[in-house]
């Protein structure tokens, strides 16, 4: 996806997130994040937006995310909208050759932050919709497949990933709605061991085999891998213990 596509997704999902949160109510529990109420969800996402703006302003050293939301819940929606708009403006006006801190591979720092904030907001938009009790607005196949790729080939190849097995195992993740001629991965072969994941990005599974295979539409797989969807909605073959392992250990 292009940077402009990520920015537009971020714009839409941020608006849906805050609108759904206001309608759900600040004290409503978030089913997809049981430790949070809606106010915690909005405080977290709004703080992440402001954290990202710091790097888009040129910060070159990583620092922890600090929750900086107002204590007054009546001010929370406007506070979120202001930070969301500031993030959108920074992404839109930042120079293409921006140099700043990042933490996952990307063509450029600007491309990294556009992608990361789009998916951060998308997943938390699903959280807000779960609190409201409605069916989440569907993702496009292109966006969802990109989010799968970021999660598997970005986050979980890092040393901090807890998805490990004592004996080498393999898990194949496939999407059924991603065209192979786009060059975008439509399958990911995960090699699990006592070391961090090794991930093969595939455009054609051909004769690939694995101990367990999960497949489905890109949006369904995207939500499931982020533990925001039901694995019952996917086609799972082989050893189901690897799906349970992912559920238990894959939180980012």
3-state secondary structure 96-151: CCCCCCCCCCCCCHHHHHHHHHHHHHHHHHHHHHHHHCCCCCCCCHHHHHHHHHHH
Neighbours of 63 (CB within 10 A): 10
Q: What is the pTM of this model?
A: 0.96
Same fold, 3-132 and 143-249: no
pLDDT at 196 over 90: yes
Per-residue pLDDT tens for 32-80?
999 999 999 999 999 999 999 999 999 999 999 999 999 999 999 999 9
pLDDT at res. 206:
79
Per-residue pLDDT tens for 89-135?
999 999 999 999 999 999 999 999 999 999 999 999 999 999 999 88
pLDDT at 178 over 90: no
pLDDT at res. 184:
79
Per-residue pLDDT tens for 197-208?
999 999 888 789
Instruction: Quote the crossing angle between the two packed helices 38-56 and 3-24, to the nearest 10°.
Output: 150
pLDDT at 243 over 60: yes
What is the mean pLDDT of the segment spanning 152-181? 92
Task: For domain 143-249, give the CATH superfamily.
Answer: SCP2 sterol-binding domain (3.30.1050.10)
Per-residue pLDDT tens for 3-14?
999 999 999 999
Tell me which fold the domain 3-132 belongs to: 1.20.120
Residue 90, both tokens: 């920074």
Name the pLDDT band for 214 (thresholds 50, 70, 90): very high
pLDDT at 181 over 70: no
Where are the domains positioned within the chain?
Answer: 3-132, 143-249
């Amino acid at each position: 996806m292009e940077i402009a596509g990520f920015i537009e997704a971020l714009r839409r999902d941020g608006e849906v997130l805050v609108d759904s949160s206001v309608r759900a109510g600040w004290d409503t529990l978030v089913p997809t994040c049981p430790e949070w109420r809606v106010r915690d969800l909005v405080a977290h996402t709004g703080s992440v937006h402001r954290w990202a703006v710091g790097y888009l302003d040129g910060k070159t050293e990583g620092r922890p995310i600090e929750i900086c939301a107002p204590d007054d819940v009546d001010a929370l929606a406007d506070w979120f909208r202001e930070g969301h708009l500031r993030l959108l403006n920074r992404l839109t006006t930042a120079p293409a050759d921006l140099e700043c801190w990042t933490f996952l591979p990307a063509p450029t720092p600007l491309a990294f932050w556009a992608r990361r904030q789009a998916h951060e907001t998308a997943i938390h938009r699903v959280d807000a919709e779960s609190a409201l009790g409605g069916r989440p607005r569907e993702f496009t196949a292109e966006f969802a497949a990109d989010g799968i790729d970021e999660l598997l080939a970005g986050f979980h190849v890092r040393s901090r990933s807890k998805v490990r097995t004592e004996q080498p195992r393999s898990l194949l993740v496939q999407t059924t709605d991603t065209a192979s001629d786009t060059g975008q991965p439509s399958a990911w072969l995960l090699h699990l061991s006592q070391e961090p994941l090794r991930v093969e990005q595939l455009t054609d599974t051909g004769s690939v085999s694995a101990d367990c295979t999960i497949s489905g539409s890109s949006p369904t797989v995207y939500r499931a891998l982020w533990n925001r969807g039901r694995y019952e909605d996917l086609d799972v073959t082989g050893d189901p213990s690897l799906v349970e392992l992912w559920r238990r250990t894959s939180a980012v």
